[in-house]
Amino acid sequence: MRFSLKRWLHIIGGSLGLLGVVFVFMRLNTYMEQIDLTRFDTTAWSLIGLLALVYGAANVLLAQAWWHLLAFFNVEVERKWAVKTYGLSQLAKYVPGNIFHLAGRQALGMAAGLPAGALAKSTLWELGLIAAAGALFGVLATPLVWPTLPVPVSAEAFGLITVMGIIALRWLLSPAASATFIWQIFFLTISGTVFMGALFLVAPAVVNFSTFSVLCGSYVIAWLAGLVTPGAPAGVGVRELVLLFLLKGAVVEADLLLAIVLGRMVTVAGDFFYFLTATFIKSTQNEYESSGRE
């Protein structure tokens, strides 16, 4: 690959990441204006900061999943490089269009010498697998539309279907594909838990052991709706609308709206934390040597 092309790919990937930073600060400013800051004390703000750190760290699970997918397509790269590249490109998802983080990752990967075809395939498989993982969480939210179904039954069904899916992926495809699915399930579970942490700060009576799985499932389904909606940066608007629909009646609307805004602020701050951390990750991999397989 010519040096000039590599340089332009680095510029494109880096520029998309920096553009994402701009939109993140704009989004954070909007959320801060929508939240009554006097409502929360020092302890609450400490918990909000902790939730942001947890969510930011959870993004590493998605990077791990992508690393496994690259291996699935016979592209062996350093794990640190995958975590760094994923973090540097992730903020671009806040740029209107909802695809620029994928374009940035593609550019950075090609600049490192990775096969363009394998990179594109890994992205498509990543989206397909995480959409399937997200859809599974709909089982947890089933009691919201079928009140006679006991919550423990929906939780057991979710666990059983998930295990079957992991086994099927390992048997039909490869251990790398099943590992990708596992990391994505973990990430989505943490994401749902982080939202419940935000909801707990607003309406503590709503969040308890009996509602954990239903609330987690509802959040992930709303997240999935935002993921598959074209043009919505990081699912903004779509996720909120679906959550309001699913949890209407279960949570006071005013509390739910505040929790949604607070949850958004937490996830945006967490993504920014991951971006900053990724910039300091040292990777020894500067160039990928193709094995001739994709």
Which residues does residue 97 pair with via DSSP β-bridges, in sequence order? 231
93 closest CA partner among 215, 271, 221: 271
Angstrom distance (rounded) from CA 13 to CA 106: 8
User: Is the Cβ–Cβ distance between 135 and 30 less than 8 Å?
Assistant: no
State the residue for tokens 């800051």: 37
Residue 251, beta-bridge partner list: 248
pLDDT on residue 193: 93
pLDDT at residue number 13 = 40
Cβ atoms of 219 and 191 within 8 Å: the answer is yes
Residue 205 pLDDT > 50, yes or no?
yes
Tens digits of residue pLDDT in 57-109: 999 999 999 999 999 988 888 888 889 888 888 776 766 556 667 777 877 77
Give the DSSP H/E element, type plus range, for residue 185.
Answer: helix 175-202
Please check whether residue 100 is in contact with residue 30, taking contact to mean a CB–CB distance below 8 angstroms.
Answer: no
Residue 231, classed as helix, strand or coil, is strand
Q: Average pLDDT, whole number, for the chain?
A: 79
Please report the DSSP string for 109-139 in residue order.
Answer: HHHTT--HHHHHHHHHHHHHHHHHHHHHGGG
pTM of the model: 0.81
Least confident of 126-135, 191-200, 236-245: 236-245
- Quote the CA–CA distance of 198 and 46 in Å, as a whole number: 12
Q: How confident is the model at residue 9 (pLDDT cuts 50, 70, 90)?
A: very low
Q: What percent of the chain has pLDDT over 70?
A: 77
pLDDT for the residue numbered 27: 55
Q: Are 183 and 63 in contact (CB under 8 A)?
A: no
Q: What pLDDT shows up at residue 3?
A: 47
Name the residue ranges covered by the structural domains of the chain: 3-279
How many C-alpha atoms does 136 have within 13 Å on its Cβ side?
Answer: 25
Angle (deg, nearest 10), helices 116-136 and 42-72: 130
Q: What was the pLDDT predicted at 188?
A: 95
| pLDDT (average), residues 114-124 | 86
Query: What local confidence, expressed as pLDDT, does residue 234 receive?
Result: 43
- Whether pLDDT at 268 is above 80: yes
Residues with Cβ within 8 Å of residue 14, at least 6 apart in sequence: 88, 108
Which residue in this structure is represented by tokens 């397509």?
73
- The dihedrals phi and psi of 251, each to the nearest 5 degrees, come to -135, 140
Residue 200 has pLDDT above 80, yes or no: yes
pLDDT tens track for 40-61: 778 888 999 999 999 999 999 9
Helices in 35-115 by DSSP H: which ranges? 42-72, 79-90, 100-111
- pLDDT tens digit string along 164-194? 999 999 999 999 999 999 999 999 999 999 9
pLDDT at 15 over 50: no
Q: What are phi and psi of 248, to 5 degrees?
A: -60, 125
What burial letters (b/e) apply to 225-248, b meaning 16+ CB within 10 Å? bbbebeebbbbbebbbebbeebbe
Which range of 22-31, 204-213, 271-280 scores highest in mean pLDDT? It is: 271-280
DSSP codes of every residue in 69-84:
HHHHTT----HHHHHH
